[in-house]
Amino acid sequence: MEKVKLGIIGVGNMGSGHIRNILAGNTPEIEVAAAADRREDRRAWAKEELPEGTPVFTEGSELIESGLCDAVLIATPHYQHPVLAQEAFQKRLHVLCEKPAGVYTKAVREMNLAAGKSGKVFAMMFNQRTNCLYRKMHEMVQGGELGELKRVNWIITDWYRTQIYYDSGDWRATWEGEGGGVLLNQCPHQLDLLQWICGLPKTVQAFCHEGKWHDIEVEDDVTAYLEFENGATGVFVTTTGDAPGTNRFEVTGTRGKLVCENDTLTFWKLKTDEREFCRTSQEGFARPECEEIAVETDGENPQHVGVLNAFAGNILHGTPLVAEGKEGLRGLTLSNAMHLSSWLHQPVEIPFDEELFLRELTKRRENSRKKEGKEITFSTEGTY
């Protein structure tokens, strides 16, 4: 195999962006062998953009059954991700899945089992892991440079969305169509990065405000408190209703503090471990000596192209993926725990009762509303 023959299932904002990247020559080991979308206008776009004769199907299942592809990229509404992935694994196809991996962890766990049985490559489109700032944070925190984790704070409120965004399709911002709001649509990358860099917390208590700033039935404002196994604590704050918003990720350990904000990474490095300084200092108001360091990175941030090229490289050469499929379960675990905590009005331990979560989600799906809206195509930049 010289190139991976890729089928794109879902030719909306993200799927069309991936097609453009491939056609522009940014992924030399991938070619688009087929595409699929349920909307006629998107199929028409694909037929016009793709090389003449490239098959374009109505259903993802038809593409999977066609035998034309080595792999599929799933960029459909969230509930379909595990369903289509399992169909693809049954046909011995490799799978690259857009975020989130699914809506509820039980389905994603089954998807990962299917991937394991197939022996095929399963990857997640966690393109933010390619960002040099987050890669450096992962290296420093997991490598012990910050010492023992003490505190995690992420204020990610620069997801501002207008009402027309939510009115652009009847699946958006509904329990039945999307399965959640800001946690499931905008924040899967941040939840993935948080657990990738700092690990999963053991306890979550969240307050998810549904339709606080928009006429929607799902959450658009969230504040969550996290507790980690070693006693570290954290706060995660997000919304689509703040303007101007903030994106500040702060991680504090016993040997200093990392802050990622405004595309820069700063390390306040302590000369002495804070725990040791606290125990040994003879002065009540003394503070450990600290050096402020502008952290250098390799400057690389290939985003979606980086994930696509790593996916092809793993299939063809066995080189590492950006994010394995099983990683999709971890970020979704955090999202599900936040929803469940808010629904039950109590802290939730991780791992949580997946059957209880599914029952609570099903109640909301049964009462979900359908909106009358015409789907609007936004640009592929910042489409989450």
The arithmetic mean of pLDDT across residues 197-208, rounded, is 98
Rounded to two decimals, the pTM is: 0.95
Mean pLDDT value across residues 191-219: 98
| Domain coverage including residue 195 | 129-298+331-366
**pLDDT (0 to 100) of residue 372:** 52
Residues 352 and 232 in one domain: yes
Residue 383 has pLDDT above 90, yes or no: no
What secondary structure does DSSP assign to 28-87, as a single string?
A: TTEEEEEEE-SSHHHHHHHHHHSPTT--EESSHHHHHHTS--SEEEE-S-TTHHHHHHHH
Flag whether pLDDT at 51 surpasses 90. Answer: yes
Would you say residue 252 lies in a domain? yes
From CA 142, how far away is CA 182, in angstroms rounded? 28
Q: Are 233 and 361 in a shared domain?
A: yes
Phi and psi angles of residue 6, each rounded to the nearest 5 degrees, phi first: -105, 135
Is residue 83 included in any domain, yes or no?
Answer: yes
> Mean pLDDT throughout 357-378?
77
CATH code at position 47: 3.40.50.720
Residue 199 has pLDDT above 50, yes or no: yes
383 falls within a domain = no
Each residue's pLDDT tens digit, 59-75: 999 999 999 999 999 99
Q: In this structure, is residue 384 part of a structural domain? A: no
> 236, 247 in Cβ contact below 8 A?
no
User: How many independent structural domains does the chain possess?
Assistant: 2
- Per-residue pLDDT at 170: 85
- Is the per-residue pLDDT at 348 higher than 90? yes
pLDDT of the residue at 169: 82
Is residue 373 scored above 70 in pLDDT? no
Within this chain, do residues 140 and 121 fall inside the same structural domain, yes or no?
no
**Is residue 375 a part of any domain in this protein?**
no
pLDDT for the residue numbered 317: 98
pLDDT band at residue 4, thresholds of 50, 70 and 90? Answer: very high
Residues whose CB is less than 8 angstroms from the CB of residue 327 and which lie 6 or more positions away in sequence, other chains included: 124, 126, 192, 196
Question: Based on the domain organization, do 227 and 79 belong to the same domain?
Answer: no
219 in the same domain as 113 = no
Average pLDDT of every residue of the chain = 95
Residue of higher predicted confidence among 378 and 10: 10
C-beta of residue 261 within 8 angstroms of C-beta of residue 247 = yes
Domain membership of residue 376 (yes or no) is no
Tell me the CATH number at 214.
3.30.360.10
CA dihedral sign of residues 64, 65, 66, 70 = positive
Do 338 and 224 meet the contact criterion of CB atoms below 8 Å apart?
yes
Q: Rounded to whole angstroms, how far apart are CA atoms 350 and 333?
A: 8
Residues 14-47 pLDDT 10s: 999 999 999 999 999 999 999 999 999 999 999 9
How far apart are alpha carbons 324 and 133 in whole angstroms? 20
Query: Does residue 335 sit in the same domain as residue 189?
Result: yes
User: What is the C-alpha separation between 177 and 187, in angstroms, rounded?
Assistant: 17
Question: Looking at the structure, do residues 274 and 306 belong to the same domain, yes or no?
Answer: no
pLDDT value at 382 more than 80: no
**Residue 315 or residue 382, greater confidence:** 315
At 94 the pLDDT is: 98
Q: Are residues 113 and 196 in the same domain?
A: no
Report if residue 28 sits inside a domain. yes
Same-domain pairing of 238 and 356: yes
Q: What confidence tens digit (pLDDT) does each residue in 140-186 have? A: 999 999 999 999 999 999 999 999 999 988 889 999 999 999 999 99
Q: Are residues 184 and 122 in the same domain?
A: no
- For residue range 280-312, what is the model confidence (pLDDT) as tens digits? 999 999 999 999 999 999 999 999 999 999 999
Evaluate whether residue 382 is within a structural domain: no
